[in-house]
A and B are shown apart, each in its own frame.
Chain A
Amino acid sequence: MKDILIIGAGPAGLTAAIYALRSGKSVLLLEAKQYGGQIVNTPDIENYPGLAHVSGYEFAENLYQQAKSFGAELVFETAAAIEDRGDHKVVRTTLDHTYEGRAVILATGAKNRPMGLEREEELIGRGISYCATCDGMFFRKKDVAVFGGGNTALEDALFLSNYCNKVYLIHRRDQFRGSDADLKKLTGRENVEFVLNCNVTKLLGEPRLSAIEVTDKLTGEIRTIEVAGLFVAIGQIPDNAAFSNVAALDEKGYIASGEDCLTKTPGIFYAVVCRT
């Protein structure tokens, strides 16, 4: 039995582990994919106080090594259910292993939101990508599109504009949620075209993506844009559905809680990223 089981080894889970271990608690982290979570997709983090520049991979690796140096244990398994037995909790994984802890911290984070279009799944790796820094080089000198209006979309568009012939930035609104600094840089790039108030509504090409259809939300006008790649950055969806028995979720699937890190179940806590 561990003192604390932490579900998710992204920055929140690993940070929780470091603090718990330094307080003398024993900790086991359960991670479905990769420690560090989504930050490993970021080529250069430049807004972390005290670290002017660090790559997402390096940051994740350092965080993991730091937690490990204090005695963190990590298993690569997907938590599928939590059972509350009062003074202890049992986490069952998709491999049907069980782990027991006196407390559980949910640090599940979020995963990429899909567009919900026909053939989207089949075209991932065949023109559709969620990671510009991983896949940008395959689209060198080609035309690509980025779909989204937040920081990730702006960063992706900037990154791709260094390599690609042309970058279409497609956004459902005419205002961006992403940082002004990146937006300013983007507007100065000659090979970037803003396609605003538009949704991507159809994926074309066989077996690879060769074009997308975008629909103007205001006029209904449909435009076909030839692109070899489409980088999807329309936000995240939380990954908490399996734990709704122990933590109340809001209508979007985030943990419905305040700033206190408590769930409705004593002994089960959450780390901020996966809550409302």
Chain B
Amino acid sequence: MSVITATAENFEQEVLRSDVPVLVDFWASWCGPCRMLSPVVEEIAAQADGFKVAKVNVDEESDLAEQYGILSIPCLIVFKDGKEARRSVGVIPADAVLSLVKNA
């Protein structure tokens, strides 16, 4: 499955009302570690089974970043049943990203 580009417009539909957990990657193009984490998140999205993956560009979606209290990026949040279930800040290896989703 490809990565969903989450925006203020589609966030409720794609993330909060999703039937399956959603891993959301809050990132920005000028953040080196974010660009390092991106391929990991994309690879996980390609093999995602039972969950979805979305990305929020905090430059373009500053309201979403504010709403979810993002103060450090990259920040991964797993949403389950419309609520934040897990959060992780910084670059983490692929297996840690997967266990974040599985333990949500």
Residues of A within 8 A of B (CB): 32-36, 40-43, 55-57, 60, 76-78, 94-95, 124-127, 129-131, 133-135, 137-139, 207-208, 229
Contact = CB atoms under 8 A, between A and B. Distances in A.
Given A32-B93, A125-B87, A125-B89, A138 B36 contact: no
B91 A125 contact: no
A207 B75 CA distance: 17
A86 B80 CA distance: 50
Contact of A34 (B36, B65, B72): B36
B34 interface: yes
Nearest to B74: A134
B1 interface: no
Contacts of A40: 32-33, 35-36
Contacts, number: 79
Contacts of A95: 95
B71 A133 contact: no
Q: How large is the interface on B (under 10, 10 to 19, 20 to 34, 35 or more residues)?
A: 20 to 34
B37 A76 contact: no
B3 interface: no
B93 A125 contact: no
Contacts of B90: 124-125, 130
B71 to A, nearest CB: 5
23 contacts: A33-B36, A33-B91, A33-B92, A33-B93, A34-B33, A42-B32, A43-B30, A43-B32, A60-B32, A60-B36, A76-B93, A76-B94, A78-B93, A94-B95, A131-B33, A133-B32, A134-B28, A134-B74, A135-B73, A137-B28, A138-B65, A208-B69, A229-B71
